[in-house]
Amino acid sequence: MATDPDENSLPGVSYIMPVLNEVAHVRAAIDSLLAQDYAGPFEVTVALGPSDDGTTELLAEMKAADPRISVVENAAGSTPAGLNLAINASSLPVVVRVDAHSVLPVDYTRIAVETMLRTGADNVGGIMDAQGITPFEQAVARAYGSRIGLGGTKLHLGGEEGPAETVYLGVFRRESLMAAGLFDEGIRRGQDWELNRRIRESGGTVWFTPSLQVVYRPRPRLRDLAKQFFSTGVWRGELARRYTTSNSIRYFAPPVLVVALVLGLLFGIAGVAQALTGAAPWMLLGFTVPAAYVIGIVVATLLVTRGLGPRASAWFLIVLPTIHFCWGIGFILGALSLARDLENYTGR
């Protein structure tokens, strides 16, 4: 790609989006692509998994109304399979990875391509700006954007522009994607991080810029949130097992928390047994671990939910432990090489 392009030489952009049962979100996501102020040519390729909620019919309607939208069948239904199908079905030199839950700001592509040309990066991305509508979604969004929720990474909180471990979504040079071997279809979650690891190991650059902020819509129900983070934890545990030297310490915080709480409860119960048998009940000290966690959750809620309504604040008390425990338990199972056995429960 040439540097300092004028309007007539801007590289073409292929938007790729895997979709499965997203009738509530996919129209807004695609509309945000069609509304981009980027002056170069573009195409939208949607990899459609076997959906039963009206997504298939909605995409057929949108495709008929706009020839720039194409749809390819993703029989496997998984995210990495859909991404690879869409990449191979598209052709333009810049590939913009999009999520059905994301809404791109109108200047997203223009800023991303400008940054790519300026820095020579192989992948450019920014901040996942979680925003909720219902009180539950607002609580989830606040957890996403807090250090006690998802660890306080640039991806969620922002920071200085520069090379990064990974970024949200990603705007790739097609040549770099092809050279890296595309997404690993054996990894159901965390495939973005793993691909970025390969790009970096081959000498490429993953570039974070806070100028890119993408609105993300959280899962609307507690059950969906729990499943999402259990799945994320399982595959993060699997990735930690595979690539032992490439993992940030923050990934290990939830499983360590789960183990500490379980041990604390077991010691506390043993202390009760000591007291009942007349022995010195020193093991009751184990109860201080879960008690400290409960106090920590309450204090975090008071500090983090300022500005939220009472219902959203109340939900935060439930959302935060759900994220911690589902991620932590999933991580432990994934690290024990159970990701494949749990595949039906670990999302797409």
Q: Whose CA is closest to 85, among 16, 20, 30, 22?
A: 16
**What percent of the chain shows pLDDT beyond 90?**
71
Quote the pLDDT of residue 2.
40
Q: Which fold has domain 7-220?
A: Spore Coat Polysaccharide Biosynthesis Protein SpsA; Chain A (3.90.550)
**What percent of the chain shows pLDDT beyond 70?**
91
Mean pLDDT of 115-133: 93
**Could you tell me if 81 and 74 are in contact, meaning their C-beta atoms sit under 8 angstroms apart?**
yes
Q: What share of the chain is helix, strand, coil (3-state, %, to 5)?
A: 55, 15, 30
What does the pLDDT look like over 7-56, one tens digit per residue? Answer: 558 999 999 999 999 998 899 999 999 999 999 999 999 999 999 999 99
Q: Which two tokens stand for residue 48?
A: 């459609």
Mean pLDDT of 173-193: 92
- Statement: residue 119 has pLDDT above 80: yes
Mean pLDDT of 245-270: 89
Quote the pLDDT of residue 342.
62
Give the residue, 46 or 158, on which the prediction is more confident: 46
Mean pLDDT of 142-163: 79
Which CA distances in Å does 203 have to 118, 177, 179, 206? 18, 13, 11, 10
What does the pLDDT look like over 233-248, one tens digit per residue? Answer: 998 898 888 887 667 7
Give the residue, 128 or 311, on which the prediction is more confident: 311
Mean pLDDT of 249-266: 92
User: Residue 313, SS3?
Assistant: helix
Q: Which two tokens stand for residue 274?
A: 């000591």
Q: Which residue ranges make up each domain of the chain?
A: 7-220, 249-345
Gap between the Cα atoms of 296 and 303, Å rounded: 10
Give the residue, 348 or 295, on which the prediction is more confident: 295
- Statement: residue 3 has pLDDT above 50: no
Quote the pLDDT of residue 194.
92
Confidence of residue 339 (pLDDT cuts 50, 70, 90): low
Mean pLDDT of 200-212: 94
